[in-house]
A and B are shown apart, each in its own frame.
Chain A
Amino acid sequence: MIDVNEKKFYKVDDIVKKHGFKKMNLIAILQEIQGEYRYLPEEIMTYVATVMNLPLSHIFGVATFYSQFSLEPKGKYEIKICDGTACHVRGSEPIIKAVRNKLNLTKDKKTTDDLLFSLETVSCLGACGLAPVVVINDKVYPQMTPEKISKVIDDLKSLKKE
């Protein structure tokens, strides 16, 4: 049994209802559910398939197509490092390495064990003038360096302790 509380489950139903059970709103529905759970739990997708009368394989197919969706819980802080052209030529690679080292993450292990941080690289956040750019939970950190990002992570960690 997955660990979801009542409130969130109600939200799932509200979300589906709000979008009128329409297949064309499936992506928005999954986005909002991920907003609640920070990932897409299998049971919830099964529920959505049932109430929307869609094949489960379709929902799974959509959920695995778009890179925004995660089938595993993501960290409280989602670190997105831009690896678009501008960021790449201005040195995003060392930043990615630094974050992976610091948080003990790899290409395949994307979330820390304490579920505090997850890391993904994204292609172009459209803030090329500020390259290299890192985004953490929608906050943009411009002109990053391995040292600067390390400091940001430390700050977020201490925030948690408070």
Chain B
Amino acid sequence: MDKKACDKILYIDDKPFAIGNEKNLLEVIRNAGYDLPTFCYRSDLSVYGACRMCVVEIEGRGVQASCTVPPEPGMKVTINTEKTRRIRRMVIKLLLANHSKDCTTCSKSGECDLQEAASRLGITDIPFECEEKKHPLDTGNPAVIRDPNKCILCGACVRTCREIQGKSVLDFVYRGSNTIVSPAFKKNLDEVNCTFCGQCVAVCPTGALRIRSELDNFWKMVLDKNKKVVVQVAPAVRVAFGEAFGIKPGKNLIGMITAALRKVGVDKVFDTTFAADLTIMEEATEFVNMLKSKKDFPLLTSCCPAWVRHVEQKYPQFISHLSTCRSPQQMFGAVAKELLSKEYGIRREEICVVSVMPCTAKKSEARRKEFSVNSDPDVDVVLTTQELIKMVKAGNINFSALEPQEMDSPFGVFSGAGVIFGASGGVAEAALRTAYKLVTGEALGEIEIKPLRGLKSFKEFAVNIKGEVISVAVVNTLSQASKLLEDIAAHKVHYHLVEVMACPGGCIAGAGQPYSIDRMAIREGRLKGLYQDDVDSRIRVSYENEEVQKLYDKWLQNPNSEIAHQFLHTHYHNRKRITGEDIGLFRKGSEVLPKTTVCVCVGTSCYVHGSYDFIEAIMAKIRAEGLEDAVMVKATFCLQQCGHGPNIKIDDQIISHATVDRVSEIFDRYIRVKYKK
């Protein structure tokens, strides 16, 4: 061995191992062929070092958590010692003493890291006094169930929400053995700014954060003879489904999935990818129209419901930039209910649309009011990939004995452009393929847009379309998306089209996909599978999807037509993200004078636009006019007009742009009139 190589060697259990690019000793140990368990370490998150499972002894430094130690040449590491073994076993025993005891009925059973570690270390008794924590479950939303009784405080969810998504919905609260992970004020997730992206669920090693299962509902629909059950399967599902059956990530199993679904008794199996092509027709047209009318750019994609919710919560000023196109899931639902009910000659309600998604936010999306007709939702049941796997198992199907089957017509036809919707950059790539054609009448020369591919969280690309340089940005994760929006708002950057997916790498890493600790490698595999499927596709651009064309010819007329708008487009809401009570300022109301209530918004946007100065000025004015007994002033949170701040509300009337210089005018117009003698 030459000197240089010698410098990069450390010793594990007396055997030499080369140090590569590993960030920490744990990675070196794992690359050396050891399977050291951890609960809190995630290679894509900051190091936390709290579970103490990955402890090793290092000569001269004693016991150390290997995830926190940078590998150094010459280090002498021992994995199994009396001390490290005692620590690992004790950690498990302590955690189990404090954990719910319903392992057998836990939805995480079989994939739970705690369960597995206990079994691997041969823990057969818990010598400590066990306690049943009795925290209430958080079940107020359609997507995620939060069960603090199963939480081992590894903090992976907290770090994910903060570091990956930039939301910090969850944090540690209280201290010591009272610590729990919770939204502020112990509110439920639906009461705070959660987008239901589910990435917290995707990293939870136990059942503390889990997907809200709709399988019971699914079976009920399938077994109901009066229902026609129609299933749509999203692109990213097919390349991850096999992982549960020991098949490598990336293998396209759509044929097997179709066969399994038919076997349990669904009536039709279709492909969300068909609806993705439809989405591209609409969205590319919307984009081309924007180019023509020189409207305010950028156009923001709207396929990802977590992203849409994020804009509604945090960046309401960008709502007008969101594409009005519904997501493929919702386009499919609307089209299927309308057309199939006619085809079968039954009522809309008798069609049950089930979607199989890689995503938890889709469950929440399907519940949006805009997506139902007379209280009948366009999509009735949303299953995640994980639930599909459980369904196959519960349906007593021998998966390996299945023969692949073709999907049903007409919504089983799709292009390669629709398939890559499942990857970050795929929507933008698919849209460009069609937009180019729409503007130029010609096909894009190189249809594979490599710069927009891959797991990186920010990618960009520029293309010359008829002399105009069109710039496209693709981001994944909400933290990156927020950063980009802020840069756009500050005019630091400019793009024509921005594609956002909330999950790292896109839908392939959705929270509904099979659970795994080694996430980076698995994402790569799934991604490769999707792009391979594009290459293998008969058609690779959405405008060539003949079934989509037929749909326009027979029913929808043209993209962005009036009828297309009715079924395929939507609108968005400003979402109050703080459910806080008002802060009363002038308290007393008089007995004789009529009362007036002035609410001034002190939410972020209004605050920065000077709402606080307005409070001071209006109160001074009220006092000067001697009306403090009649007028009640409150500070309030969000009147949902964030783009027009500062906003105030006088009795029931909202007044925007209430700046300090308008105090007298507003006072005269809305308050004085009531008290004129």
A residues contacting B by CB (< 8 A) are: 1-6, 9-10, 13, 42-47, 49-51, 53, 55-61, 64-65, 67
Contact = CB atoms under 8 A, between A and B. Distances in A.
Contacts of A59: 184
Q: Which of A3, A45, A61 has the most CB of B within 10 A?
A: A61
B637 A46 contact: yes
Given A6-B586, A13-B612, A56-B578, A1 B634 contact: yes
B605 to A, nearest CB: 9
Given A47-B635, A50-B637, A57-B168, A4 B185 contact: no
Contacts of B585: 4-6, 9
B195 to A, nearest CB: 14
Contacts of B604: 50-51, 53
B581 A50 contact: no
Nearest to A46: B580
B172 interface: yes
Nearest to A42: B185
Nearest to A12: B583
A134 B619 CA distance: 44
Contacts of A61: 171-173
B487 interface: no
B174 A64 contact: yes
Interface of B: 162, 167-175, 182-185, 192, 578, 580-587, 602-604, 607, 612, 616, 619, 633-635, 637
A2 B168 contact: no
B584 A50 contact: no
Contact of B583 (A2, A57, A67): A2
Contacts of B184: 45, 49, 55-57, 59-60
30 contacts: A1-B581, A1-B582, A1-B584, A1-B634, A3-B584, A3-B587, A4-B583, A4-B585, A42-B185, A42-B580, A42-B581, A43-B580, A43-B583, A46-B578, A49-B184, A50-B604, A50-B607, A55-B167, A56-B184, A56-B185, A56-B578, A57-B168, A57-B170, A57-B171, A57-B182, A57-B183, A58-B168, A58-B171, A60-B185, A67-B175
Nearest to B637: A46
Contacts of B607: 50-51
A9 B172 contact: no
A58 B183 CA distance: 9
Contacts of B170: 57
Contacts of B172: 61, 65
Q: Taking chain A's interface residues, is the majority helix, strand, or loop, or is none over half, making it mixed?
A: helix
A55 B602 contact: no
Contacts of B619: 6
Contacts of A50: 578, 602-604, 607, 637
A46 B580 CA distance: 7
Contacts of A53: 604
Nearest to A53: B604
Contacts of A65: 172-175
Contacts of A13: 612
A8 B637 CA distance: 18
Contacts of A10: 616
B648 to A, nearest CB: 16
B134 to A, nearest CB: 15
B537 to A, nearest CB: 43
A63 B587 CA distance: 27
Given A4-B583, A55-B169, 17 more contacts: A1-B581, A1-B583, A4-B584, A4-B585, A6-B585, A9-B635, A43-B580, A44-B583, A46-B580, A46-B637, A47-B580, A47-B583, A47-B602, A50-B607, A53-B604, A60-B171, A64-B174
Nearest to A54: B168
Contacts of B602: 47, 50-51
A5 B587 contact: yes
A90 B427 CA distance: 73
A17 B171 CA distance: 26
A138 B175 CA distance: 25
A9 B175 CA distance: 29
Contacts of B584: 1-4
Contact of B169 (A5, A46, A57): A57
A92 B628 CA distance: 51
Nearest to A60: B184
A53 B192 CA distance: 15
A112 B216 CA distance: 50
Ranked nearest first, the 6 interchain pairs of A and B with the lowest CB-CB distance are A55-B168, A57-B171, A56-B184, A46-B580, A60-B184, A61-B171
B515 to A, nearest CB: 25
Contacts of A6: 585-586, 619, 633
Contact of A64 (B173, B578, B581): B173
Contacts of A49: 184
Contacts of A2: 581, 583-584
A135 to B, nearest CB: 22
B171 A43 contact: no
B592 to A, nearest CB: 22
A135 B326 CA distance: 63
B192 A56 contact: yes
Contacts of B174: 64-65
Contacts of A5: 585, 587
A67 B176 CA distance: 11
Given A56-B192, A58-B168, A43 B582 contact: yes
B587 to A, nearest CB: 6
A9 B171 CA distance: 27
A45 B185 CA distance: 10
A91 to B, nearest CB: 26
Q: Which of B162, B192, B612, B637 has the most CB of A within 10 A?
A: B612
Contacts of B581: 1-2, 42-43
A63 to B, nearest CB: 9
Q: Which of A5, A51, A57 has the most CB of B within 10 A?
A: A57
A42 B191 CA distance: 14
